[in-house]
């Protein structure tokens, strides 16, 4: 895609799926259910009030103009600030693909435009390299690698009542209710998937939170939570759910190599032909 200077959209089929928007071989935007968009992050942080955002969006739509221009014209954001935000969201979107499984991709030459593309567009190979680096960082933490679909739970009694931890950890402790996954927490807090997972990995290593693999019910009592804290052991008494897909790799060293096969394939130059579905499952 990069070598051929492709302009259009790459629809990603997988878990997560999503869309990569490209202009002349560089990436302008990524949409995926695993990574909060720049809009979600902005609105959650309160940096741009909801009413102001909606007004800018509407005005841009009515004028058939760029949302970016409207946001800047209204002084809702600075130019550098917006660029940094979009670049961050882009990196997080690519990380989301790397943290999951890509089955196949298909190109669309004239897709609907994205409301907030990054200009200048980002280098695709840098995004992929950075995504893989982030996976390595997460894999370096002790225990089974934390995954976006792992449910997370605050360990009761780990923090003295009324203590303030700072660094975003208090919000995580409050939101880690055993139902939400790492990915759900990112959306609930309006933060990137990677920064959320990095914080969770640290907190898990510090014994503040426990993670449970998807498909299992969250632990419901102290004894089960100790099991769950060991990194995804079956919660006693509850059946293991059948899954359609094989379980993600359990060993830390597996994770970067699977992603290394899947993520660069998405951006294979056009001359190599269409991507084939992964044959290892």
Partner 1 sequence: MVEDALLAEMRALQDRVTGITGTAVASRDGLIVRGDTGGVDPDNLAALAATWLALAQRMSREAGQGMLREAMTRSVGGYVAIYAIGAKAVLVLIGDEGLDMAGLHRESVPALEAIGTLLVDPAPFPAAP
Q: Which of 154, 274, 172, 175 is nearest to 225 (CA)?
A: 154
Burial category of 278 from C-beta neighbours within 10 Å (exposed 0-12, middle 13-18, buried 19 and up): middle
Q: 241: which DSSP letter?
A: P
Binding residue for partner 1, selected from 28, 37, 199, 262, defined by CB under 8 A: 37
Q: Does 115 bind partner 1 (CB under 8 A)?
A: no
Helix 182-189 to helix 193-205 angle, to the nearest 10 degrees? 120
Report the SS3 class of residue 227.
helix
Q: Which of 5, 156, 215, 269 binds partner 1 (CB under 8 A)?
A: 215
Give the footprint of partner 1 on residues 229-248 (CB under 8 A). Answer: 241, 244
Minimum distance from CB of 187 to partner 1 (Å)?
Answer: 5
**Pick 26 or 266: Cβ nearer partner 1:** 266
Which one, 48 or 198, has the nearer CB to partner 1?
48
Given the complex with partner 1, which of 34 and 194 has the nearer CB atom? Answer: 34
32 forms part of the interface with partner 1 (CB under 8 A): yes
Which residue, 2 or 35, has its beta carbon nearer to partner 1?
A: 35
Q: Are 219 and 227 in contact (CB under 8 A)?
A: yes
Phi, psi dihedrals of residue 155, rounded to the nearest 5°? -80, 120
Instruction: Give strand pairing partners of 190.
Output: none
Residue 270 CB, nearest approach to partner 1 (Å): 25
| Position among 14, 17, 25, 117 found at the interface with partner 1 (CB under 8 A) | 17
Write the secondary structure of 82-99 as one string of H (helix), E (strand) and C (coil).
HHHHHHHHHHHHHHHHHH
- Beta-bridged to residue 102, according to DSSP, are 14
Binding test (CB under 8 A) with partner 1, winner from 134, 147, 169, 180: 180
> Which parts of this chain interact with partner 1 (CB under 8 A)?
15-17, 32-37, 39-40, 43, 50, 53-54, 149, 177, 179-180, 183-184, 187-188, 214-215, 217, 241, 244
């Amino acid at each position: 895609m990069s070598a051929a200077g492709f302009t259009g959209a790459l629809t990603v089929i997988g878990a997560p799926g999503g869309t990569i928007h490209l202009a002349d071989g560089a990436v302008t935007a990524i949409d995926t259910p695993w990574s909060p968009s720049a809009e979600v992050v902005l609105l959650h942080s309160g940096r741009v009030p909801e009413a102001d955002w909606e007004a800018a969006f509407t005005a841009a739509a009515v004028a058939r103009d760029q949302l970016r221009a409207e946001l800047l014209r209204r002084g809702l954001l600075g130019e550098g600030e917006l660029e940094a935000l979009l670049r961050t969201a882009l990196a997080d979107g690519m990380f989301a693909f790397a943290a999951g499984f890509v089955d196949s991709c298909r190109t669309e030459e004239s897709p609907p435009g994205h409301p907030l593309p990054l200009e200048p567009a980002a280098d695709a190979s840098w995004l992929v390299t950075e995504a893989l680096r982030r996976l390595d960082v997460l894999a370096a933490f002790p225990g089974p690698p934390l995954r976006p679909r792992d449910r997370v739970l605050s360990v009761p009694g780990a923090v003295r009542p009324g203590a303030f931890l700072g660094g975003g950890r208090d919000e995580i402790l409050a939101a880690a209710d055993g139902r939400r996954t790492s990915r759900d927490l990112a959306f609930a807090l309006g933060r990137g998937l990677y920064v959320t997972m990095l914080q969770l990995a640290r907190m898990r290593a510090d014994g503040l939170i426990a993670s449970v693999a998807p498909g299992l019910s969250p632990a419901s009592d102290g004894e089960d939570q100790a099991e769950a804290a060991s990194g995804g052991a079956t919660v006693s008494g509850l059946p293991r759910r059948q899954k359609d897909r094989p379980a993600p790799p359990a060993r830390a060293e597996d994770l970067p190599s699977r992603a290394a096969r899947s993520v660069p394939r998405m951006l294979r130059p056009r001359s190599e032909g269409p991507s084939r579905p992964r044959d290892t499952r």
